[in-house]
């Protein structure tokens, strides 16, 4: 009998690296999206039970684009139409098509493009571009999930610096996005608030990379990743596992991506 997939995975004993940022009150959040809040709806002791056992639960409030999340194709429309030409029609308070619930779970090859390592720095400067040239030496193939490290996750504890409203944020430029689209990648992710290059003072008024990848090529984006633990492994390719919450008709949703890295 040939070895099963489960047997092969057990034999490989990969290291599992969590690529998600933790969700908590006060975490960095784009000023255009509602932030994260947790409130205990029932605490232990609110209701007494004869056997002494108690239960507790909470209410979560957050935008679909807060924390580590995936953008659905309905996140961007041009002239009132989504990728492929479908009209941006709202039904029952949500978009009729191209919602995050239409995204299939991803289990595929992942590629880390570690730009600071290439440039010999700890992290990129505010507003520093990541161009097609930065992607040129990476072995990127059709169907890959490509994750771009800028080192920006190091600023996670400083919300103002991480969002970079005045200073700008490093990220992917339009020529880099075109190169990834031409390669036929499945998704593109980064460790910043909006994935793409945000010059100082520019804000989020113009997002060409979102237009290129989401609208023109139907490629989902993953934002607010924590790529520091993955970079520390030295791995540049890995098995990527991730699935966004299937919120019907939503323009984005939280995702907890994992990288399965070969043990060294």
Report whether pLDDT(115) > 90.
Answer: yes
Which residue, among 69, 103, 107, has the nearest Cα to 260 in the 3D structure?
A: 107
- Return the pLDDT at 8: 78
Residue that has been written with the tokens 């009132």 in this structure: 80
Which residue, among 206, 239, 257, has the nearest Cα to 103 in the 3D structure?
A: 257
Which residue, among 55, 58, 66, has the nearest Cα to 39 in the 3D structure?
A: 58
Which pLDDT tens digit goes with each residue over 221-249? 999 999 999 999 999 999 999 999 999 99
Distance CA 187, CA 108 (A): 10
- Return the pLDDT at 5: 79
Cα-based angle 70, 239, 23 (whole degrees, multiple of 5) = 40
**What average pLDDT is seen over the chain?**
94
Question: Which DSSP string corresponds to 167-221?
Answer: T-B-EE-HHHHHHHHHHT-SEEEESSSSSB-B-TTTTTS--HHHIIIIIIT--EE
Q: How many CB atoms lie within 10 A of CB 111?
A: 21
Distance CA 203, CA 132 (A): 22
Domains of the chain: 5-20+64-261 (3.50.30.50)
DSSP state of 225: B
Which residue, among 128, 142, 205, 137, has the nearest Cα to 172 in the 3D structure?
A: 128
Mean pLDDT of 120-149: 97
Report whether pLDDT(203) > 80.
Answer: no
pTM equals 0.94
Three state DSSP letters for 102-163: HCCCEEEEEEEEEHHHHHCCCCCCCCCEECHHHHCCCCCCCCCEEEEECCHHHHCCCHHHHH
């Amino acid at each position: 009998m040939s070895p099963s997939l489960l047997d092969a995975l057990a034999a490989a004993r990969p290291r599992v690296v969590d690529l998600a940022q933790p969700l908590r009150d006060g975490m960095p959040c784009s000023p255009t999206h509602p932030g994260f809040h947790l409130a205990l709806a029932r605490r232990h002791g609110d209701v007494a039970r004869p056997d002494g056992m108690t239960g507790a639960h909470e209410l979560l409030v957050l935008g679909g684009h807060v924390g580590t999340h995936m953008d659905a194709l309905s996140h961007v429309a041009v002239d009132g139409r989504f990728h492929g030409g479908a009209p941006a029609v709202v039904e029952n308070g949500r978009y009729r098509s191209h919602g995050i619930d239409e995204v299939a779970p991803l289990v595929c090859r992942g590629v880390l493009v570690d730009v600071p390592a290439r440039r010999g720095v700890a992290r990129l400067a505010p507003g520093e571009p990541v161009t097609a040239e930065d992607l040129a030496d990476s072995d990127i193939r059709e169907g890959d999930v490509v994750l771009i490290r800028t080192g920006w996750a190091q600023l996670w504890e400083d919300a103002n610096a991480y969002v970079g409203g005045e200073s700008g944020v490093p990220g992917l430029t339009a020529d880099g996005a075109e190169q990834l689209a031409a390669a036929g990648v499945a998704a593109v992710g980064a460790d910043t608030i909006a994935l793409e290059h945000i010059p100082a003072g520019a804000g989020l008024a113009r997002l060409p990379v979102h237009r290129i990848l989401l609208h023109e090529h139907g490629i989902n984006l993953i934002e607010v990743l924590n790529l520091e633990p993955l970079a520390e492994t030295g791995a540049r390719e890995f098995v990527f596992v991730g699935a966004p919450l299937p919120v019907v008709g939503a323009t984005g949703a939280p995702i907890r991506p994992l990288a399965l890295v070969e043990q060294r």
